[in-house]
């Protein structure tokens, strides 16, 4: 009996993936679990994205095994210079890999993904898009040069999503409203958390009591790249002095890679450098342990899809506050929402969350809300959507 041909899946995004000295492939947002997700669509998956070198300690990163997996680096197209110098080489690689694949999974927004979608459509290859963020918010809340390109990239993302036959959105409403599709779609977050364990909530409630007894500082935390301005950590650093003046002894913990210089300088200028703690990039599993020792999670972003880090914090029973950005208002009540840069409102919300009774109330609510984003629940919805996609294109 002849075996059916191997179905090859091509996954495209900006990346990067990291290559260690021994040739191993590692990721932060991309992991073995993400690879296994796309293997539901075929027998082999190739990741096409930028490459970075990983030297020294690798424990902060997730290794991706080479079982039914390959990684193809593509030159950097994320800067104007890169787009000019690397375009021809990038297009040659994209064309080769799209031709070799049986289907494309394109995470949007991403210039590499958009180019791959155009090539796949020209070759009549099946395309599944994942809309995970908003180009407009990302660029408009960057520097002035990015603002000039925001309208063009916004329209480009809109066009890609409009013509997509099968699309997964990480939000319930926000991205669907801004980038609607004429094809089939589903709202499925890309968060990856186990079903919340009741013991986690019990431990959180005990933590609230015991930390109140210790009279230690209120520990605020954000998990995001510290070198990306639109992640908004500067807003939280900017209110630390105001919190102190209101009698709230607070410190701010930042988890994430990126250049720390800008935020360290701001903290020093404001005289709060001793209250800002940089943890750097941490392996995904280690983030949960750190979250359990925090008191309030803050997502001050000016651009988001549906923030995985916030959902993960909610699954640990953490009280949360966040900006009126992307899908954040879908997760937490309006009383915990502020406009980006609204420092007075941020101060007011964080001061309120210093109250232990309020923390316990928010912990219960957030923990319950996070159950809708458990791994088993989302995997079942994703598998159903994948099956419809495969039936339409390969039956």
Q: In angstroms, rounded to a whole number, what is the distance separating the alpha carbons of residues 328 and 340?
A: 12
Closest CA to 333 of 344, 349, 348, 347: 349
E-assigned strand segments in the chain: 8-12, 17-20, 25-27, 44-49, 51-54, 62-64, 69-73, 103-108, 127-131, 166-169, 184-187, 218-223, 250-255, 276-280, 296-299, 320-323, 337-338
Mean pLDDT confidence for 382-387: 96
pLDDT band at 290 (very low <50, low <70, confident <90, very high): very high
Whether 144 has a pLDDT exceeding 90, the answer reads no
Does residue 240 surpass a pLDDT of 60? yes
Write out the two tokens for 35: 């690879």
Q: CA 231, CA 84: separation in Å to the nearest integer?
A: 28
**pLDDT of amino acid 2:** 45
* pLDDT score for 281: 86
Q: Which residue has the higher pLDDT, 78 or 350?
A: 350
pLDDT over 90 for what percent of the chain?
73
Q: Is the pLDDT of residue 224 over 70?
A: yes
The whole-number pLDDT of residue 303 equals 85
Question: Would you say residue 1 has pLDDT above 60?
Answer: no
Angle formed at CA 32 by CA 181 and CA 27, multiple of 5 degrees:
85
What are the φ/ψ torsions at residue 9 (nearest 5 degrees)? Answer: -105, 135
Q: What is the dihedral of CA 261, 324, 143, 237, to 10 degrees?
A: -20
Question: If you average pLDDT over residues 171-199, what whole number do you get?
Answer: 91
Q: Are 97 and 318 in contact (CB under 8 A)?
A: no
pLDDT, position 32: 92
Token duo for residue 282: 């941490």
Alpha-carbon span 135 to 281, nearest angstrom: 24
Q: What are phi and psi of 8, to 5 degrees?
A: -100, 125
| CA–CA distance, 283 with 218 (Å, rounded to integer) | 24
The yes-or-no verdict on residue 140 having pLDDT over 90 is no
Predicted local distance difference test score (pLDDT) of residue 8: 97
From first CA to last CA, the distance across the chain in angstroms is 19
User: What are the phi and psi torsion angles at 365 (to 5°)?
Assistant: -65, -45
- Measured between alpha carbons, how far is 161 from 245 in angstroms, rounded to an integer? 48
Q: What is the pLDDT of residues 325-370, one digit of tens each?
A: 989 999 999 999 999 999 999 999 999 999 999 999 999 999 999 9
Q: How far apart are CA 328 and CA 307, in angstroms?
A: 7
**Model pTM score:** 0.82
Sorted by where each starts, the structural domains of the chain and their CATH numbers stand as 8-192+375-394 (3.40.50.2000), 198-371 (3.40.50.2000)
Going by the DSSP 8-state scheme, the letter that residue 77 receives in this structure is -
For residue 286, the model assigns a pLDDT of 85
Please answer whether residues 108 and 160 qualify as being in contact, where contact means their C-beta atoms are separated by less than 8 angstroms: yes
Residue 3 confidence (pLDDT) above 60:
no
**Cα-based distances in Å from 27 to 59, 66, 231, 254, 295:** 11, 13, 20, 19, 28
Whether a cis peptide bond, with omega within 30° of 0, leads into 16 is yes
- Mean of pLDDT values over 282-301: 90
CB neighbour burial string for 355-374, b if at least 16 within 10 angstroms, e if fewer: eeeebbebbebbbebbeebb
Given its phi and psi angles, is residue 330 left (phi above 0), alpha (psi -120 to 50 degrees) or beta? alpha
Residue 346: predicted pLDDT:
97
User: How far, in Å, CA of 41 to CA of 161, rounded?
Assistant: 20
| pLDDT tens-place string over residues 22-71 | 899 999 889 898 999 999 999 999 999 999 998 877 777 889 999 999 99
Question: What pLDDT, in 10s, does the model give residues 86-122?
Answer: 889 999 999 999 999 999 999 999 999 999 999 999 9
pLDDT score at 212: 64
Q: What is the average pLDDT across 302-323?
A: 93
pLDDT tens digit sequence for 268-285: 999 999 999 999 988 777
Reference 291, options 323, 255, 263, 256; nearest CA is 255
pLDDT greater than 80 at residue 215? no
69-73 and 51-54 beta bridge pairing: unpaired
**Cα three-residue angle 140-145-146, rounded to 5 degrees:** 35
């Amino acid at each position: 009996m002849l075996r059916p041909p191997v179905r090859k899946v091509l996954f495209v995004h900006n990346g990067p993936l990291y290559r260690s000295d021994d040739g191993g492939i590692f990721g932060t947002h991309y992991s073995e679990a993400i690879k296994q997700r796309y293997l539901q669509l075929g027998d082999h998956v190739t990741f096409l994205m930028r490459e970075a070198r990983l030297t020294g300690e690798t424990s902060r990163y997730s290794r991706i095994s080479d079982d039914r997996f390959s990684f193809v680096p593509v030159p950097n197209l994320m800067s104007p210079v890169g787009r000019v110098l690397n375009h021809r080489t990038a297009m040659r690689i994209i064309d080769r890999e799209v031709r070799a694949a049986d289907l494309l999974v394109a995470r949007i927004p991403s210039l590499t993904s958009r180019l791959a979608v155009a090539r796949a459509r020209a070759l009549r290859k099946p395309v599944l898009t994942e809309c995970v963020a908003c180009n407009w918010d990302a660029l408009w809340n960057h520097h002035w040069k990015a603002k000039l390109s925001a309208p063009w990239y916004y329209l480009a993302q809109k066009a890609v999503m409009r013509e997509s036959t099968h699309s997964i959105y990480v939000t319930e409403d926000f991205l669907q409203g801004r980038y609607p599709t004429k094809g089939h779609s589903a709202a499925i977050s890309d968060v990856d958390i186990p079903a919340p364990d009741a013991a986690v909530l019990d431990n959180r409630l005990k933590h609230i009591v015991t930390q109140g007894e210790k009279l230690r500082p209120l520990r605020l935390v954000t998990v995001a790249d510290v070198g990306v301005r639109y992640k908004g950590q500067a807003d939280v650093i900017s209110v630390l002095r105001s919190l102190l003046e209101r009698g709230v002894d607070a410190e701010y913990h930042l988890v994430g890679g990126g250049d720390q210089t800008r935020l360290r300088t701001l903290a020093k200028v404001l005289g709060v450098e001793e209250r800002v703690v940089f943890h750097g990039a941490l392996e995904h599993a280690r983030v949960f342990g750190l979250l359990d020792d925090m008191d309030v999670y803050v997502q001050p972003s000016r651009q988001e899809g549906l923030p995985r880090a916030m959902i993960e914090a909610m699954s640990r029973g953490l009280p949360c506050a966040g900006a009126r950005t992307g899908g954040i208002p879908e997760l937490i009540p309006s009383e915990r929402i502020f406009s980006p840069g609204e420092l007075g409102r941020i101060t007011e919300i964080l001061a309120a969350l210093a109250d232990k009774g309020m923390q316990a109330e928010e912990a219960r609510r957030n923990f319950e809300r996070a159950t809708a984003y458990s791994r088993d629940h989302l995997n079942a919805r994703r598998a159903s959507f994948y099956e419809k996609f495969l039936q339409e294109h390969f039956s």
